[in-house]
Amino acid sequence: MNMSKLNIAAIQLNSQPNLDESLGQCYSAIESAAKSGVNLIALPENFAFLGDEIQKQQKGAEISENVLDVIPKWSKEFNVTILAGGFPVPVSNGKVYNRSIICDATGKIVASYNKIHLFDVSLTSDETYRESETVEAGDLTPTVCTLSSENLGSITQDPFNVNLGMTICYDLRFPELFRELTNLGSEIIFVPAAFTQPTGKAHWEVLLRARAIENSLFIVAPAQTGTHGSKRKTHGHAMIIDPWGNILSDAGTEPGFAMAAIDLNLISEVRQKLPSIHHRVLPG
């Protein structure tokens, strides 16, 4: 059997509506995870700036310029691949994309994804979100990045490729996206998020495990936690979940990271034992 193992960290942050402070948190978290021997590090949604949507829209150019400068530098510095999981990129109509990128260990940006499903909900009279007012939805093309082990960082085993599927936060509630990413060959699907406290408590873990189980693959979900600015609160619990639905690591509610060593061969083992992915009778 070919060895196809990765050490992965899903970072958990308490980002603030302060670009320099939040990027400083990111650097420290990446440094700590890299020292733990990981090859692949995933940052959560709004890692560089977590304020209200108007603030994020207004600062979009500054945020994206800084992110696109530092993430390639950090990837090279620590010899790791980084999934930078959601930051604003200005669009010509005045809105921003909510964009995620993958930067390999050579410092090359090898994939990007603009969030498709926008978070327009009214949880309570005091907690309402209208992401579509400031964010432009991405096109409906699912994004899968194929990355070779030689570009993942400190791999000392036989060469292999890994297929990485990209989503952001609210996308988690739409299983058809995950199924299409699976159809396109994804072995790991990222879910960088800033889940609210009420929705996170109710649905975060169960939805992550469901997406892993129904598609028989790994889910890596970096997260935001705590209070951001004066009002916004997030759930935490960054997680790494295997194809059987087991939680390999859970970061709890404090800043830090979930970390796990995963073997991609487990995907084929699970699909042989329980081949539900091959028993589909309806299209999709």
Q: Which of the residues 26, 115, 136, 145 is marked catalytic? A: 115
Lowest mean pLDDT among 122-126, 193-197, 230-234: 122-126
In angstroms and rounded to an integer, the radius of gyration of the C-alpha atoms of the chain is 18
Q: Report the alpha-carbon distance of residue 62 to residue 90 in Å, rounded.
A: 10
Choose the catalytic residue: 56, 136, 169, 187: 169
* Tens digits of residue pLDDT in 46-90: 999 998 889 999 999 999 999 999 999 999 999 999 999 999 999
Q: How much is the pTM?
A: 0.96
DSSP 185-239: T-SEEE-----BHHHIIIIIHHHHHHHHHHHTSEEEE-EEEEEETTTEEEE---E
Give the range among 42-56, 113-127, 160-174, 258-272 with minimum mean pLDDT.
Answer: 113-127
Rounded (10°) angle between helices 205-215 and 175-183: 30
Residues 45, 53, 136, 187: which is the catalytic one?
A: 45
Question: Does residue 45 carry a catalytic annotation?
Answer: yes
The pLDDT score that the predictor gives to residue 51 is 87
Q: Which domains does the chain have, with CATH numbers?
A: 5-274 (3.60.110.10)
